[in-house]
Amino acid sequence: MIPLADGLRYGAIAAPLAFAALPLYVLLPSHYGASLGVPLAALGTVLLLTRLLDALVDPWLGRFVDRRFGPTRTRAMQLAGGAAVLLALGLAALFFPPMDDPRQLLLWCGLSLVVTYLGYSALGVLHQAWGARLGGDASTQAAVMGWREGIALAGVLLASVLPALAGLGAMVATCAVGLGLGWLALSRAPYRSSALPAGATKGQWSLPWRQAGFRHLIAVFLLNGVASAIPATLVLFFVRDRLQSPALEPVFLGGYFAAGALSMPLWVRAVRHFGLVRTWLAGMLMAIVSFAGAATLGAGDGLAFVAICVASGVALGADLVAPAALLTGVIQRAGHAQRLEGSYAGWWTCVTKLNLALAAGAALPALQWLGYRPGTTDPAALQALTLCYSTLPCLLKAAAALLLWRSGPTLEGRTT
């Protein structure tokens, strides 16, 4: 297990990272489209191109991060500090542009996003690689991931309420202060690393994909991630049009993330007793059973949906603890520990971002093809929304569970 103080020091910077993610992915489109008057089609193109670039650069960042780790933490902390500054400055530029012309705003948005994403991704890949390099058995790695993801969920919760309560200025300032404090905490966190030996980076770009365990894990992670990203993409449409309960949006989202954070110690304990694969399977099955109930809901069923959100949030804890801990085991069995964690983390975060892109690219066109439009009251269109929001993710989650069950021996290094 990891001591309390060490867990807090390592995980602290996850809070401002997660805090920054919500404005980037949720608040920014509305801010530029509704508040600043930028045409939605043009804004959508800018967001698509910058997010695609963000995902594709992550494997390169992984290689760069591996070169920052050495016998001491100096170079890693320099990279963390530079990335944190880029992220803070980028957020400030994004939400407080110095012009009001729509064309200039589009260019400003695109350039600011490139800077912000670069800082966000570099810090995120470094932080994940740092945790993987701490090593340890499955239980220890589950605890490390539990600290990181639990603190990250606290950041998401704060970001979900602070802009509405205190404004965008307070949001940006809080994120900047959090990044500074997180950097200071990380400078005192446990550190295990060594310099890369000569020739260690040869073929580094493709080394993770040569490992059967990594390919199996990525396949499960991608399928499970899309299953989770589809409801995240459609939840506000479901709440407003199917449930007709927009006033309860903060309760739904807050209940989901709070349940995920509070459930983390339970999933870490489950790993010690049942192992990573069985724990992740249990979380998937719980998510399917709880979320399937959303298919039966209609107007006025807000309280029932609160219960579904809480149960689904508990299941989320397994998704946050198990996969990253399994990744560390894959790295160790491949003989790449203390060498190539950044490369693995780069591909991992790339796939994470592709999950969101695939979900939006599949669910939104499908809804339009099935006749749904925001604000509709047509029963057939609302049924299509329910199928895409609840039924399709449950089927995808079941497929991911089946694939995980079949891949279990490979992922845990067992023989069949």
The domain locations on the chain are 1-195, 207-409
Q: Residue 174 — pLDDT band, cuts 50, 70, 90? A: very high
User: Does the domain formed by 207-409 have CATH 1.20.120.80?
Assistant: no
Flag the least confident range among 100-104, 160-164, 170-174, 207-211: 160-164
The size of the chain, in residues, is 416
| pLDDT exceeds cutoff 60 at 201 | no
Q: DSSP for 16-62, please give it.
A: HHHHHHHIIIIIHHHIIIIIS---HHHHHHHHHHHHHHHHHHHHHHH
Mind listing the pLDDT tens digit for each residue in 40-52? 778 877 887 888 8
Higher per-residue pLDDT: 83 or 376: 83
| pLDDT exceeds cutoff 50 at 198 | no
| pLDDT exceeds cutoff 50 at 135 | yes
Higher per-residue pLDDT: 357 or 147: 147
| pLDDT exceeds cutoff 80 at 325 | yes
Determine contact, residues 382/372, Cβ cutoff 8 Å. Answer: yes
3-state secondary structure of 101: coil
According to the model, what pLDDT value does residue 415 have?
Answer: 53
- pLDDT (mean) for 375-397: 91
Q: Residue 27 — pLDDT band, cuts 50, 70, 90? A: confident
Q: If phi over 0 gives left and psi between -120 and 50 gives alpha, with beta otherwise, what is residue 243? A: alpha
* CA dist., res. 112 & res. 270, Å (int): 42
Mind listing the pLDDT tens digit for each residue in 212-260? 999 999 999 999 998 988 888 788 789 888 999 988 888 888 889 889 9
Determine contact, residues 269/209, Cβ cutoff 8 Å. Answer: no
Domains 1-195 and 207-409 in one fold: yes
Mind listing the pLDDT tens digit for each residue in 252-282? 888 898 899 899 899 999 999 999 999 999 9
% of the chain with per-residue pLDDT over 90: 53
The pTM of the full predicted model, rounded to 2 decimals, is 0.82
Closest by Cα among 251, 263, 355 to 315:
263
Other CB atoms closer than 10 Å to residue 108's CB: what's the count? 17
CATH number given to 1-195: 1.20.1250.20
Buried b (16+ CB within 10 A) or exposed e, 26-57: bbbeebbbeebebeeebbeebbeebbeebbeb
